[in-house]
Structure 1
Amino acid sequence: MELADAQSLGFEPDRLDRIGAYLDEHYIASGRLPGLDVLVARDGEAVYRHTAGRAREDGTPMAADTICRIASMTKPLTSVAFMMLVEEGKVALDDPVTKVIPEFASLGVYAGGGGEVDFMPVRPAPVMRMVDLITHQSGLTYGIQNRTNVDAAYRKARLDGHASLPGNDHFVEQLAKLPLEFEPGQAWNYSVGTDVLGVVVARLSGMNLGEFLRTRIFHPLGMVDTGFHCPDDKAHRLADAWAYQAGQPPQLFDPAEKSGTRRVPRFESGGGGLLSTTADYHRFCRMLVNGGAADGVRILSPKTLQLMTANHLPGGADLTQVSKALFSEAYNAGAGFGLGFGMTIDPAKALVPGSAGEFYWGGIFSTAFFVDPVEKVHAVFMTQLYPSFIYPIRRQLKTLIYSALATSRA
């Protein structure tokens, strides 16, 4: 990938070079991360790229075209797909979810039980709306939260978007048997809501989710390496995934040669199933930073994107006030949540340089991206270490990137 002149786009090149030096010293040389790839851009043009370390246990180097598991960085893509259908009038944010998912007609709120006994009869719940799914205010959860008996039931049924689930119908039927954590719209909890949204996209479009994403987003934007499995002709580019071990080197977690991501999944997880590359996600971010269009292709209107990147938490709250999640891909202070994106409300509370209105997300294998619509800056970070909350690398990256920005547009 050819880089634009950083200085002409308002960056100081010597300060950009600090990014790679810092990552190499603190993460590659130390063995914290096996490999990584980072790209920084302004006005949609890449101005900095640093690739280091290894993609596989056998020493295969991390490369510019290495394919990574992006996990929850799937969520913004599914959310964009849903909003494309909103723009077409096929669904509305305030529609009841049961309009497309009738299996949810009898959902209620947890009233006790679970664990070693059956759940108690649920309390009646207000109608769950589409906006509750896309903002994680639905009352659904993730088994990985590991806090409640409802979470435990999700783990038992493998409902965290697992590729081996028999398919969309099975997924929603099993969810419908379990209680909600809270009444829809009353709190924020990181959840499988975006997986349900992926089922909505599939049912409304008449395509499976992967086909919709491929034909409506990936192909138009030139995202040639993004999909729900890694085909054989690209298998040599798939990275291994590692798991953190306290006081020890990362342990090989999902070797590329045997990875389940090599197979076509039975269930396409709109919340976490995609593979991608730095270059592909950069193309997605170019569209976002440019108000919904890139290279002559419009995916969303600017006003739809503005709606998606506004804070939709009740009363303009931040996540410290309304989040029930033990785990999510966001730091809570100064952070709101939009329609599929985390977003910065107050950089002073976040204690990291940036702009109010930035939006972002990450994946549990420590991948991340952010888009700053004020400065027209975006960045994509790829690595493969599970889980994502071990190191503060996302905050460190933002600090390094903004410290290299010499010309502000605020």
Structure 2
Amino acid sequence: MSSLHSLLEARVGEGSLPGAVGLVARGEDVEVAAVGSLDTAATAPMARDSLFRIASLTKPVTAAATMTLIEDGLLALESPVARWLPELAAPVVVRTPSSPVDDVVPAERPITVEDLLTFRAGYGFPSDFSLPAVGLLFSELGQGPPKPQEIAAPDEWMAALARIPLLHQPGRAWLYNTCSDILGVLLARASGLSLPDLLAERVFEPLGMRDTGFAVPDGQLDRFTSYYRPAPGGAGAGERGALELADAPDGQWSTLPAFPSGTGGLVSTADDWLAFGRMLLAEGAYEGGRLLSADSVRQMTTDHLTAEQREGGALFLEGQGWGFGGSVDVARLDPWNVPGRYGWIGGTGTAAHVVPATGTVTVLLTQREMVGPTSPELMREFWTYAATR
């Protein structure tokens, strides 16, 4: 593709997306393309500052907020989380991953803050979603595609979590997703602030991320994109199939939820995530101050998994490692894959990464729900473009 605009325009033109915003920044050189419309009815054109549900791009933000509390001494990586989450004071573990949920043994050690940051606490999704203990994450906790207004308040959610056994012993295996939601509750209890207030104070306000939060800012619904999923049974219901509305601007993100999800609850813009990414590239510094120490950023963006743990998470990781709240490329597997690249993708069709080796931030925001954990073709095209730009 000759330009970012033409890359995105090709997908929008074929009907696979109503619209998209892409951003590739290297230093002060920023290329942005806003293509298509906010919805399938083309009621308004897409703009650089259009608001999107960023889904799992929330996870690195939650991890960064955790590191600010660690730097302030309110938490430590080795701290057992039961001090703030007494519901997890005596966790039990299924005897084997496929065991019934009542066939359990005690956890061999406490769950720590680091276990949550690295997704090795024992809660979360493995490659096999049919396991009995995994089913409870969906039925009891509402884990899955984000629906913030349908999730119980934090205390009730934690009480339900406490009734679900761990799938693996703490520290043993990498499991996707749930740990960031647990971290969100931990951060609120440890700080004495709600998670929305904590993130605003610790991350959004310092970095100037004025459009990021757990609900659309007041008076800004006209900038909010509609969100779609592939229509069931539609012709070619994969990456190029027909779409059905999953959430309208006045829907799930129009008001603050009872449970602010540290896993996937944020709405944001391309430029707001650019500000976050630039902070990471600057090893915690931003214009006018410092959010994190360089050591904290290095811990966030370093792979903490063993080869066996990476292999166990292959359905989601696709050959990558995991830092704190985001993946870390550990080998050159594709044209876009650069060792040290940190970031993640979101199930609502979003992706954001930083590439320390080249000083690059990449952000892709779409409105099409992913059909599985594998990176869609458009994301791969976008990353290849960014790597060769």
- Which residue in the other structure is 1:289 paired with? 281
> In the TM superposition, what whole-angstrom CA distance separates every residue of 1:265-301 from its partner, at most 9, and x where no partner exists?
0011011101001111111111111111111221101
**In the alignment, residue 246 of structure 2 is paired with which amino acid?**
F
Q: Is the 8 A contact 1:39 1:46 kept in 2?
A: no
- Which residue in the other structure is 1:263 paired with? 255
Count of residues paired in the alignment: 375
Q: What RMSD, in angstroms, separates the aligned Cα atoms of the two structures?
A: 2.2
Q: Note the residue ranges of structure 2 that are not aligned, 5 or more in a row.
A: none
Shift of 1:144: 11
- Which residue in the other structure is 2:331 paired with? 346
Q: Is the 8 A contact 1:244 1:385 kept in 2?
A: yes
- Which residue in the other structure is 1:11 paired with? none
- Which residue in the other structure is 1:123 paired with? 105
- Which residue in the other structure is 1:136 paired with? 119
Shift of 1:393: 2.2
- The counterpart of 1:253, out of the listed 246, 262, 270, is 246
Seq. identity, %: 33
Shift of 1:321: 2.1
Q: Is the 8 A contact 1:162 1:269 kept in 2?
A: no
> In the TM superposition, what whole-angstrom CA distance separates every residue of 1:69-122 from its partner, at most 9, and x where no partner exists?
01111111110000111111111111112122111122111237999xx73241
SS at match of 2:347: coil
Give the 3 Å change call, closer, same or farther, for CA 188–143 of structure 1 in structure 2: closer
Matched, 1:183 2:206: no
> Distance in 1 between the 2:88 and 2:187 partners?
16
- Which residue in the other structure is 2:31 paired with? 48
Matched, 1:312 2:304: yes
Q: Is the 8 A contact 2:301 2:326 kept in 1?
A: yes
> Distance in 2 between the 1:392 and 1:46 partners?
26
Shift of 1:154: 1.8
TM-score normalised by structure 1 residue count:
0.86
- The counterpart of 2:142, out of the listed 156, 159, 166, is 159
- The counterpart of 1:274, out of the listed 261, 266, 281, is 266
- Which residue in the other structure is 1:73 paired with? 57
Q: Note the residue ranges of structure 1 that are not aligned, 5 or more in a row.
A: 1-14, 405-410
> In the TM superposition, what whole-angstrom CA distance separates every residue of 1:16-65 from its partner, at most 9, and x where no partner exists?
x433222222x11111111100111112x242111101111321211111
Q: Is the 8 A contact 1:143 1:153 kept in 2?
A: no
Q: Is the 8 A contact 1:113 1:119 kept in 2?
A: no
Q: Is the 8 A contact 1:201 1:209 kept in 2?
A: yes
Q: Which contiguous aligned blocks of 4+ residues in structure 1 show a shift greater than 6 angstroms?
A: 112-115
Give the 3 Å change call, closer, same or farther, for CA 62–301 of structure 1 in structure 2: same
- Which residue in the other structure is 2:198 paired with? 212
Q: Is the 8 A contact 2:211 2:217 kept in 1?
A: no
> Distance in 2 between the 1:267 and 1:337 partners?
25
> Distance in 2 between the 1:366 and 1:123 partners?
39
- Which residue in the other structure is 1:99 paired with? 83
- Which residue in the other structure is 1:362 paired with? 345
Matched, 1:336 2:321: yes
1:201-240 to 2 correspondences below 5 Å: 201-240=187-226
- Which residue in the other structure is 2:312 paired with? 322
SS at match of 2:220: helix
**In the alignment, residue 18 of structure 2 is paired with which amino acid?**
P
Shift of 1:232: 4.0
Q: Is the 8 A contact 1:71 1:365 kept in 2?
A: yes
> Distance in 1 between the 2:102 and 2:207 partners?
49
